[in-house]
Structure 1
């Protein structure tokens, strides 16, 4: 199966941590999995608007990306995208007063022009009860040159606005990545990261430690480490919950909380995210708890 990559990714595709994320084999599209693993269709309230959680919505403003990840949970949208209606979305949001946060997603929102993206942001900012805007994007790791001075100046008009940057491997942190991230950060636009835990790509302590610490060194807070969603063809990338928790346990004792993301995965059929941490409570006797610390020692703690 042919894969379209932009010139930037072609220049770094030789790196193992990058190549294995994008170079498809045709057979992947015929493996078991769900075409809509997050149940987004049943939570759609307007064309391109998904409302699953009470206080926030997702706007899928495009199905186009700068690169197409093999493990994408929306890969079914690549060819059967139903489109996005800004008018329908704004009308829904205006009458849904409990929504305070909007996540602009896709595809990649930065695939749109600055003018089009500004149009969407302007419409959202006109709704008084919307206080927070996030943009979920792969742009820093797939085409960082897209983030230029004009883009940063445009985004500044809509602050507070957050960037949720998808990055899975330290090989993606190039000089160009750092330059574009710094441009956003210096413009007062905070960045958090989202990482998918991927079998044989980043499912080891060394890679994750380097990734999360390198992000913090730039000024990016590791936010989520996601279990790979159960989309068609994704079985080859999925890591067991037991292994994921073991990795979190190892990392917790070796990197600071600032470098630690939250481990989370989406339940099937749109039942939402669950977050997990290794269980630190070994036993309890009344108000006496026995905890296991980062060294594996069992320590008693008297509760109030």
Structure 2
């Protein structure tokens, strides 16, 4: 490795490597955005690029974007290509392999798109695809075609165009009470542009909740400034969901970013993706969930990795997901157990194994230890007609 002088230190848990730059620069999210790693020469300043990574970087050229913030690069193990942070950020040869059944849009965003940005899949809520841009182009992104594919987009018109049509659609459908800003990453926009969008939504009487889906608390927590949080707090209720996939991502900076959000009244939830070779074991997932609770982030979903073109190599079996859910239930506090879901064109489908089996006489229950007990239907009626 060569280039920027670096120093090794520790956060609350993982080892990190960071350049010797003034603290003011390291804490400035714009500094990181200007210095993102986008080519192999810059990558070599942070990691010993493996032959497979070198091949992948060459292979994705002209097809898939990639970039890594210096902050997120500082969490990568420079010598281990299997580092869970490194695998999420550095291109891999698996992205270029064709997998059976893979699609660019397996969840149906383009099918349910009503305007340039609004996707209306559920009765009372919509997502608004604010941007294609991200600080780090996660290699496992379910919208890889929209965010990462050089020639791909879900937008009908230019991203920089007016939001009037999108806001008008939401206003004309008063059943919409919940709007999720996503992308890409909405926090890629400056505060002023973001406030313009949120204030436009808040001017619609039927919109009760504004949510933001962002990975900035993980990929570049310096973006979560007091100024941003103060702006968001003017438009409550605002909720934020982020995307920690591995305990190594829970650093002092990330913890501080979450704390700033919470102190401004913004609840923080987490949506983890089950990823082969990154978090597909009980011990890692249990540690991740308990660490999230420690920093006051509520585990929300555990997504089964979608069979997305360029992403399929991260998929596990559903059976592996069941194994992990069984290893969480009963072993950590109940609200620390996420809901295991498969996202499809007909919506998010919970796919955790049930803890009960209907019988002619009632229910057969089991607990996390595998112990069983029968519940008589006369004591706990199974159908409403049986209730007294």
Bin the TM-score by the shorter chain. over 0.9
Match of 1:289 among 355, 360, 363: 363
Q: Hey, what's the Cα distance between the residues in 1 that align with 2:369 and 2:175?
A: 44
Match of 1:13 in 2: 76
Alpha-carbon separation, structure 2, partners of 1:255 and 1:278? 17
In 2, the alpha carbon distance for the partners of 1:54 and 1:253 equals 34
TM-score when normalising by structure 1: 0.95
TM-score under structure 2 length normalisation: 0.75
Residue of structure 2 aligned with 1:257, choices 334, 350, 362: 334
User: C-alpha offsets along residues 242-272 of structure 1, whole Å, 9 cap, x if unaligned?
Assistant: 12112111210211112111001112xx221
1:197-236 matches, cutoff 5 A: 197-236=274-313
- Offset, 1:159: 0.8
More helix by percentage: 1
The match for 1:42 among 91, 111, 114 is 111
The equivalent residue for 1:87 is 164
Deviation at 1:36, TM superposition (A): 1.3
Q: Deviations over 1:169-199 (max 9, x none)?
A: 0100011000111000011100000000001
Number of residue pairs matched? 301
Partner of residue 54, structure 2: none
Large movers: runs of 4+ above 6 Å: none
Which of 30, 49, 59 is matched with 2:128 structurally? 59
CA contact (8 A) 2:356 2:364 kept: yes
Aligned to 2:35: none
- Kept in 2: contact 1:246–1:278 (CA 8 A): no
Once the two structures are TM-superposed, the CA of residue 27 in structure 1 deviates from its matched residue by 5.2
- Partners of 2:282 and 2:323 within 8 A in 1: no
Instruction: Determine the structure 2 residue equivalent to 1:133.
Output: 210
Cα distance in structure 2, aligned partners of 1:278 and 1:271: 20
> For the residues of structure 2 that align with 1:7 and 1:22, how far apart are their CA atoms?
12
Query: Quick one: distance in 2 between partners of 1:76 and 1:277?
Result: 28
Match 1:75 to one of 116, 129, 144:
144
CA distance in 1, matches of 2:125, 2:357: 36
Counterpart of 1:242 in structure 2 is 319
Aligned 1:103-182 pairs, distance under 5 A: 103-182=180-259
Q: Tell me, in whole angstroms, the C-alpha distance in 1 between the residues paired with 2:254 and 2:246.
A: 12
CA distance in 1, matches of 2:73, 2:285: 24
Partners of 1:213 and 1:225 lie apart in 2 by: 14
Quick one: structure 1 residues 90 and 277, their matched pair in 2 at CA, closer, same or farther if it must change by over 3 Å?
Answer: same
For structure 2, the 5+ residue unaligned runs are: 1-56, 59-65, 382-388
